[in-house]
Structure 1
Amino acid sequence: MREMRRKGERATQEEARRIVEESEYGFLATAGNGGLPYGVPVSHVLHGQAVYFHCAVEGRKLDNIRENSAVCLTCVSRAEPLPEQYDVRYACAVVEGRAALVEDEAEVLEALLLIGRHYTQHDEAALDAYIRTRLHRTFVCRIDIETITGKIHGGAPSGGSGSTACHQS
């Protein structure tokens, strides 16, 4: 793995995990069809050493994962422009790993409940009922985390300056 250029902005593992947990969505990058890249936002949830997301039962994202399971998920939990300083205060994390289509029904239900809890305020019974009526048209994918790195630029919301890019170089 390439070393981060601005080591002072490297997030701890705990901070990187928190960024993934707090972000509203992640941007999933896949490659398929002869190596062509494809990126798409996904609703996700971090659970242990995996990230789950849901999707339709067919599409380019799934085709790519079937062809090449290596994926990258980028999450941004904070992006605060600082126009007077020509800068952005941000917190981002990059998850790299292998994606798999979840086939076990119990794991699918658990993942969808985790995602539902993350994005809604419904009680468990209502959430469970909603999920079960849509189960036939929903796939769940799991990213088995190989690496997770993060970058925090600008520190706490009250300070900082420097580079504006969220990447590992």
Structure 2
Amino acid sequence: MFREMRRKNQLLSQEDVAAVFDRGTNGVLACHGDGDYPYAVPVSYVYYNDKLYFHSAKSGHKVDAITKDPKVSFAVVDEDTIVSEEYTTYFRSVIAFGKARIVEGDEWIEGFKALVDKYSGDLPEEANIKEIKGCKTSHIIAIDIDHMTGKEAIEFVREKNKK
């Protein structure tokens, strides 16, 4: 169902893919948007319990697209250094394919807490818990991942192989 990468020597391991998701602070969610146009939107997210979570307003293009068709992809660029003398970039990126859904109940709390821990973990826990309990204006959306893959520049592969 999912295509295999042509340049298998540049394929990231599943552990490396997870590490990129953990390091990243924003990614691009791609959905089936209005008028059959693709809709891609940057979001802050967290990779938690082998799922991706992000928050959203309770109405809008993103929620409408996910409700209409839950199949999505989500991409994160971890590295992208321009190397002008080589006419290229040294890059590392990952992509996940899955189904998005609005979460409720305990999973809403867990997803929200994971987001708060990632982006505001340096604040007192009491303040973070108060923020979570007080926020009823946001959806928490989970992406149940069906497939994830990553690729890095051949230069990074060569560097790893030297070690």
Instruction: Give TM-score scaled by structure 2 length.
Output: 0.89
Partner Cα separation in structure 2 for residue 24 and residue 49 of structure 1: 16
Structure 1: give runs of 5+ residues left out of the alignment.
Answer: 161-169
Please state how far the C-alpha of 1:49 moved relative to its aligned partner: 2.4
Partner Cα separation in structure 2 for residue 24 and residue 87 of structure 1: 24
Partner Cα separation in structure 2 for residue 112 and residue 24 of structure 1: 15
Aligned to 1:62: 63
Please state how far the C-alpha of 1:123 moved relative to its aligned partner: 2.3
Instruction: Calculate the aligned-residue CA RMSD, in Å.
Output: 1.8
Please state how far the C-alpha of 1:122 moved relative to its aligned partner: 1.2
Structure 2: give runs of 5+ residues left out of the alignment.
Answer: none
Tell me which protein shows more helix as a share of its residues.
Answer: 2
What is the DSSP-based 3-state SS (H/G/I as helix, E as strand, rest coil) of the residue aligned with 1:65? Answer: helix
Q: Is 1:23–1:77's contact at 8 Å kept on the other side of the alignment?
A: yes
Q: Does 1:18 align with 2:19?
A: yes
Please state how far the C-alpha of 1:34 moved relative to its aligned partner: 4.7
Comparing 60-69 and 79-88, the one that deviates more: 79-88
Q: Does 1:83 align with 2:108?
A: no
Aligned to 1:32: 33
What is the DSSP-based 3-state SS (H/G/I as helix, E as strand, rest coil) of the residue aligned with 2:78? Answer: strand
Aligned to 2:148: 148
Please state how far the C-alpha of 1:152 moved relative to its aligned partner: 1.3
Task: State the identity as a percent.
Answer: 31
Please state how far the C-alpha of 1:92 moved relative to its aligned partner: 0.6
Q: Report the count of equivalent residues.
A: 157
What is the DSSP-based 3-state SS (H/G/I as helix, E as strand, rest coil) of the residue aligned with 1:96? Answer: strand
Structure 1 segments of 4+ aligned residues over 4 angstroms from their partners: none
Instruction: Give TM-score scaled by structure 1 length.
Output: 0.86
Partner Cα separation in structure 2 for residue 34 and residue 145 of structure 1: 26
